[in-house]
Structure 1
Amino acid sequence: MSNLHIIAVPFPAQGHVLPLMELSQCLANHGFKVTFVNTEFNHKRIVNALADETHVGDRIHLVSLPDGLEPGEDRNDLGLLCEGMQRVMPGKLEELIEKINEEESDKVACVLADESSGWALDVAAKMKIRRVAFWPASAAALALSFNIPKLIHEGIIDDDDGTPLKSQEIELAKNLPKMKTADLLWTCFHTLATQKIIFQLLVRNSKYAKAADWLVCNSAYDLEPAAFTLAPEILPIGPLLASSRLENSKGNFWPQDSTCLEWLDQQKPSSVIYVAFGSFTVFDQTQFQELALALELSGRPFLWVVRPDTTDGTCDPYPEGYQERVGSRGLVVGWAPQQKVLSHPSIACFVSHCGWNSTLEGLSSGLPFLCWPYFADQLLNESYICDIWKVGLRFDKNESGIITEGEIKTKVEQLLGDENCKARASKLKEVAMNNIKEGGQSYKTFKNFLEWMKS
């Protein structure tokens, strides 16, 4: 029997690659063959982190395509990256599919693409191949994109670049996070030129996603029922977690430092503050030091993920004598096996940038949050955590825009002293995990999806 062959195309950011890889692993476990297509730049990072493997298991093959940028160009500049990809990647993907169809007995049956890589869905449509759009973030964030025409029609945003024309709070539906017009997904970029590129891309991608055969989302109906009611075309299949299948997350851009798990084994239950800000957040020296001092002053054990590029790297970012004073009470690692860390019994709370993967992973471990969003949908997720689910607290910035050591220390104490918040977090874990158990909504949707794929 031939294997059904799927091409999976993530958007080239860590928070997009990981959940699509988890979905690919689920599909591989059901007998599908997956060719996973990263940009050349990310392919190198992932293969290095996997210790030079180009296969994940025996059914997922990692391949790469150029992203249209020169070696030295800044791939954190999303406007530049999206334009480069749009220019080069559609033609290269088409060539890859033709090559697979010529050389292999298992022809490409389906393109499974991140909604933010809508160009790949367009290629599949032109080649008359079945297409599935995958949304790795909250259903609320995608429903917001789908509502852009309505926001333009109501005169709330500009139709060319999405700039807010009114300063107000938007509530798309009851029980959805309220959003300030200044904090919309596309308004957080440093230049108007980048904002315009991203905004127009969102509009275009919404059309591609709605035209796909399936639109699946890494969320659960019971976590955000109002969003799924507002946009019923979005189908929940989450939370997609490697840990729920007892596997390691694959597709990390940096090698995971697993020594922190042994360190956690030596800490008391529910004692450790876990601090991690995902793959994009950058701190200036002042803010970094305030956080470092707050962790020191908390008197609690802490595990802190500091990527090599977390600060600008011009000087040692830590306060003088910091490591000596903190000693073995604090552990700093470059990148952590986050799902295993969060589900470890010694973790007390999660200081997070509120990326959707981190949000789901924290919820699925029943942890309360301290929210420190950086950009894009992270502000929306903060609102879910603090206002809708009530399982976390926000930080307040001072007049210079800094979250001070005193503010951090106060909120840590407030959160860890709040038994109701911990009880709600524990309840939400049940809600999230019940969706992927047999009989749960995500489980049923995924089963129907598999049957459609095999038909």
Structure 2
Amino acid sequence: MADSEGITKHHALFVTVPFQGHFTPAANFAVKLAARGFIVTFVTTEAFHHQRAASGAVSVDGHEVFADARSMGLDIRSELVSDGLPVSFDRALHRDQFSDAFYHLLPSHVVELMRKLLLAEPPIDVLISDTFNVWPSTLAKKFGLPYVSFWTEPALVFAIYYHVHLLVENGHFGSPTETRKDTITYIPGVPSIEPTDLVSFFHSPEASWRVLRNVGKAFEEAKGADFVLCNTVQEIEAEVIGALQLERPFYAVGPIVPASGECGAATSLWPELDCSQWLHSMPPRSVLYISFGSIARVSKRDMDEIAYGVLGSKFSFIWVIRPGSGSSEASPFPEGFIEACKGRGMVVPWCRQKQVLLHPAVGGFLTHCGWNSILESMWCGVPMLCFPVSADQPTNRKLVVEDLRIGIDVGSIGEVRGAEVSRRIDSLMGEAGGALRKEIEGAQKAVKSAVTPTGSSSKNLEQFTADLLKHLSDKKRER
């Protein structure tokens, strides 16, 4: 369909998945795509929208997400679909039921929306979907649309999932008897990785068969993608990206953040507190920022040990504790913690993370190693203390600690000890952390340079746009 000036307007349907770590880069990329002349219909689930509205992060109609983009004339439309469960259903409490519904009931609602939008003006002619969805390649082929797979984690994690068959063939996963524990050296683009550094779902297959079944289906779909976009930086993961580019058109376009002069999307799950006034009163590099993200659940035992470690260190802190992030007990902290940290610590339910990390008072970040948090820490030049909990986080930890050398471990799940946490906080935040700070400066330069007009991610985004437009033009000629 052409506009009044005879220029073809392309219409992308963009379906994300209902988690903060996926929603944020997807919404910001939707803005970037719209800024390049695309109409974008952005889709998330009714339940995820309800969660954000109930917390006060957005209004019931949700228009704040792309309000700035629309005010600048960008054509971004929002749609909600059911995941097959009532909005009131507790998805956090019943994760297996939610997983089954998301993977096997939601697709029919997406099909219904696609049929409607194929009759829109102009009709959709591109499907962009989070890689974790299990249906996009199948539906794209059904409706004759190109499929763009949108990957929100590191290229390293993509490569592991993409080559899961090699793990099975070599006995590192899926054996009915005993799996190998030796170093893995056969994944293309990954010189070596320990089994303990694989995505957590591979560690206990008997408990994670449902997730792995669904992820396996998602990556079969990804192998049918026309293009893959990845929220990473070419210079950070050059070897694995090069190997993946031999498999598929693979573009590193991260970190997906608003560029200078570019509007972003309002993506927070909860209202964000402004901690700047308190930070202004603190000396440079004297504050440790602590957050375990939007969905990670830390056991009471581990929370207690980390809390004792924080109290035993020499430094002040801001600790983000969202509702439900710890154990099921009323307080996630050990008895007396709040009283003991008065005057040197600040506990908040949610905050403007990037604003906090950019503040000169902040000298370190104790993180669960979610990829968005790692990218923000690199962007802000803040070295990390790593406590991975689940999913891609153990693999992300490997990137941070072993490959990039911009962070250190504080301990493992069930084994972390307060005294060691204190020692490592003091090491990272003190003079001994100078080597880490030097390495993080290099990482910061790489991620910031990538999104400059001549940077690798900007060039990759322009190349993707050109390749997609050519693909659409070729398809039109074939009709």
Under a length normalisation based on structure 2, what TM-score does the superposition of the two structures give? 0.86
1:230 to 226, 239, 243: 243
1:40 to 37, 41, 46: 46
The residue aligned with 1:423 is 438
Change in CA separation of 1:87 and 1:147 when aligned onto 2, cut-off 3 Å: closer
1:28 and 2:41 matched:
no
- How far 1:280 sits from its partner (Å)? 2.0
1:309 and 2:324 matched:
yes
Once the two structures are superposed, the pairs formed by residues 197-346 of structure 1 within 5 Å of their partners are: 197-232=210-245, 233=248, 234-242=250-258, 250-257=266-273, 259-346=274-361
The question of whether the paired residues in 2 share the 8 Å contact of 1:5 and 1:33 is answered with yes
Aligned to 1:235, the other structure's residue is in SS state: strand
Deviations along 1:223-271, whole A, 9 cap, x unmatched?
Answer: 01121122113321111124766756522222222x2133223322222
1:146 and 2:162 matched:
yes
The question of whether the paired residues in 2 share the 8 Å contact of 1:282 and 1:310 is answered with yes
Letter of the 1:435 counterpart:
A
Deviations along 1:346-382, whole A, 9 cap, x unmatched?
Answer: 2101100011111111111111110000012111111
The whole-number CA distance in structure 1 between the counterparts of 2:286 and 2:141 is 52
The whole-number CA distance in structure 2 between the counterparts of 1:369 and 1:354 is 9
Deviations along 1:366-424, whole A, 9 cap, x unmatched?
Answer: 11110000012111111111111111111235xx9242221111001111222111111
The whole-number CA distance in structure 2 between the counterparts of 1:72 and 1:118 is 22
1:367 and 2:382 matched:
yes
1:348 to 363, 370, 384: 363
The residue aligned with 1:51 is 59
- How far 1:285 sits from its partner (Å)? 2.7
The question of whether the paired residues in 2 share the 8 Å contact of 1:166 and 1:181 is answered with no
- How far 1:66 sits from its partner (Å)? 1.3
The question of whether the paired residues in 2 share the 8 Å contact of 1:140 and 1:224 is answered with yes
The question of whether the paired residues in 2 share the 8 Å contact of 1:143 and 1:227 is answered with yes
The question of whether the paired residues in 1 share the 8 Å contact of 2:251 and 2:461 is answered with no
The question of whether the paired residues in 2 share the 8 Å contact of 1:25 and 1:60 is answered with yes
Letter of the 1:202 counterpart:
V
The residue aligned with 1:89 is 106
1:170 and 2:184 matched:
yes
The question of whether the paired residues in 2 share the 8 Å contact of 1:170 and 1:180 is answered with yes
RMSD: 2.5
Overall identity of the aligned pairs, in %: 25
Aligned to 1:49, the other structure's residue is in SS state: coil
Number of residue-to-residue matches in the alignment = 447
When structure 1 is superposed on structure 2, of 354-363 and 262-271 the one drifting more is 262-271
Once the two structures are superposed, the pairs formed by residues 69-218 of structure 1 within 5 Å of their partners are: 69-70=85-86, 71-75=88-92, 78-102=95-119, 104-158=120-174, 165-171=179-185, 172=187, 176=191, 178-180=193-195, 183-188=198-203, 192=206, 195-218=208-231
Letter of the 2:31 counterpart:
Q
Change in CA separation of 1:235 and 1:182 when aligned onto 2, cut-off 3 Å: closer
The whole-number CA distance in structure 2 between the counterparts of 1:11 and 1:136 is 10
Once the two structures are superposed, the pairs formed by residues 348-427 of structure 1 within 5 Å of their partners are: 348-397=363-412, 401-416=414-429, 417-427=432-442
Aligned to 2:236, the other structure's residue is in SS state: coil
The whole-number CA distance in structure 1 between the counterparts of 2:367 and 2:297 is 13
Aligned to 2:201, the other structure's residue is in SS state: coil
The whole-number CA distance in structure 2 between the counterparts of 1:182 and 1:222 is 21
Change in CA separation of 1:170 and 1:8 when aligned onto 2, cut-off 3 Å: same
Change in CA separation of 1:28 and 1:174 when aligned onto 2, cut-off 3 Å: closer
**Which sections of structure 1, spanning at least 5 residues, go unmatched?**
none
- How far 1:302 sits from its partner (Å)? 0.8
Change in CA separation of 1:120 and 1:81 when aligned onto 2, cut-off 3 Å: farther
Aligned to 1:18, the other structure's residue is in SS state: helix
- How far 1:14 sits from its partner (Å)? 1.6
- How far 1:46 sits from its partner (Å)? 2.9
Change in CA separation of 1:43 and 1:385 when aligned onto 2, cut-off 3 Å: same
When structure 1 is superposed on structure 2, of 270-279 and 104-113 the one drifting more is 104-113
- How far 1:167 sits from its partner (Å)? 2.1
Aligned to 2:275, the other structure's residue is in SS state: helix
The whole-number CA distance in structure 2 between the counterparts of 1:244 and 1:360 is 17
Letter of the 1:152 counterpart:
V
Change in CA separation of 1:442 and 1:46 when aligned onto 2, cut-off 3 Å: same
The question of whether the paired residues in 2 share the 8 Å contact of 1:40 and 1:67 is answered with yes
Under a length normalisation based on structure 1, what TM-score does the superposition of the two structures give? 0.90
- How far 1:313 sits from its partner (Å)? 4.0
- How far 1:430 sits from its partner (Å)? 0.4
The whole-number CA distance in structure 1 between the counterparts of 2:387 and 2:235 is 24
Aligned to 2:341, the other structure's residue is in SS state: helix
Aligned to 1:35, the other structure's residue is in SS state: strand
The question of whether the paired residues in 2 share the 8 Å contact of 1:158 and 1:165 is answered with yes
- How far 1:279 sits from its partner (Å)? 1.6
- How far 1:434 sits from its partner (Å)? 1.5
